[in-house]
Amino acid sequence: MEQKLKQLEIEAITKINDATDLKTLNDVRVAYLGKKGPITEVLRGMGKLSAEERPKMGALVNVIRETITKAIENKHHDLEEEAVNEQLASETIDVTLPGRPVKTGSRHPLTKVIEEIEDLFIGMGYKVAEGPEVEQDYYNFEALNLPKGHPARDMQDTFYITEELLLRTQTSPVQARTMEKHEGKGPVKIICPGKVYRRDNDDATHSHQFTQIEGLVIDENITMGDLKGTLDVFAKKMFGEDREIRLRPSFFPFTEPSVEMDISCKICGGDGCRVCKQTGWIEILGAGMVHPRVLEMSGFDPQKYTGFAFGMGPERITMLKYGVDDIRHFYTNDLRFLQQFAVQE
């Protein structure tokens, strides 16, 4: 019997040592120490032993049971520790690893240039004004000295919604709206950025929707000299201090006299190249002295007030400033194009 018990002990200890998880260990415990296990069986059979053998065997069984229990406890502890260590190892965070960069967008190049122009004029005391894109024929044309049937209306192929309602073809209607609000009292000093629409076929230099920035100054004693000085500051700040401007006579129904402003070509320095079409000059915007009839129609007394206005296309300015060769790049939103401007932020 003693031999059998010793054998059981060795067997149990081997199984305990071999257990690699808590479930197996528990199975070993139940198998050896459980009610139906061999040790309990030995204890049950104690009654059959002689009086002098019984305490000897009893002591031996207790020692063996204790040894097995202790071994199970130790193994249990080891396995638990192992599991915790394994979990810790698998969940380790290397705080020295660089983080994953969050992808951020950037402002659209047109927005950037429009904001740059806004800032420039705000710095000269202008306020930013806005108007509706669905506009009345009256503000888009009539109040700007373009009555129905005027031939100059044909220059701006218009999307009509009804006979009196249209998608504005220019930001100039904001001039008329702002003057009306001032109820004949100057000064007025505004720029109006916004979207405009024309029935053009899209190509490298035309888009059926594009943007304009309008400028308007009205006060007593405003002269052509003020206009020229303002445009000169604008051109130098936008394109570089070494740029010259020149004004050429032109025609717009809402200004008299009307001019177009060119800047000297930076690429060839005035000698003539492909960008300036061999002229040494690049056309930038239209401008002029506000036509007395326009002042009058919007409630200003042309005997007392004079003013100047100008209108430009931010697409054209952005194209010249950054060497963009196709207006459609601004609207197709190819990230490879847009991201080039993000770098310059």
Nearer to ligand DAH, 172 or 207 (CB): 172
Candidates 1-9, 232-240, 293-301, 309-317: pick the segment binding ligand DAH (CB under 6 A): 309-317
Contact 308, 234 (CB under 8 A): no
* The one among 136, 140, 178, 255 contacting ligand DAH by CB under 6 A: 255
Angular region, 289: left φ>0, alpha ψ -120 to 50, beta rest: beta
* The one among 136, 170, 264, 298 contacting ligand DAH by CB under 6 A: 170
Residues from 207 through 226 that contact ligand DAH (CB under 6 A): 214
Is there binding between residue 288 and ligand DAH (CB under 6 A)? yes
Contact 117, 213 (CB under 8 A): yes
SS3 per-residue string spanning 5-46: HHHHHHHHHHHHHHCCCHHHHHHHHHHHHCCCCHHHHHHHHH
Distances (CA, A) of 12 to 34, 61, 79, 325: 13, 13, 17, 86
Contact 28, 12 (CB under 8 A): yes
* The one among 191, 238, 309, 319 contacting ligand DAH by CB under 6 A: 309
Give residue number: closest CB to ligand DAH: 311
Candidates 42-50, 71-79, 108-116, 283-291: pick the segment binding ligand DAH (CB under 6 A): 283-291
256 annotated among ligand-binding-site residues? yes
Neighbours of 174 (CB within 10 A): 24
Contact 10, 32 (CB under 8 A): no
| Contact track, ligand DAH, 16-45, x by CB under 6 A | ------------------------------
Residue of 90, 67, 78, 68 lying closest to 20 (CA atoms): 78
Shortest distance (Å) from residue 289 CB to ligand DAH: 8
Q: Which residues bind ligand DAH (CB under 6 A)?
A: 170, 172, 214, 252, 255, 286-288, 309-311
Known binding residues are: 256
Known binding residues for Mg(2+) are: 256
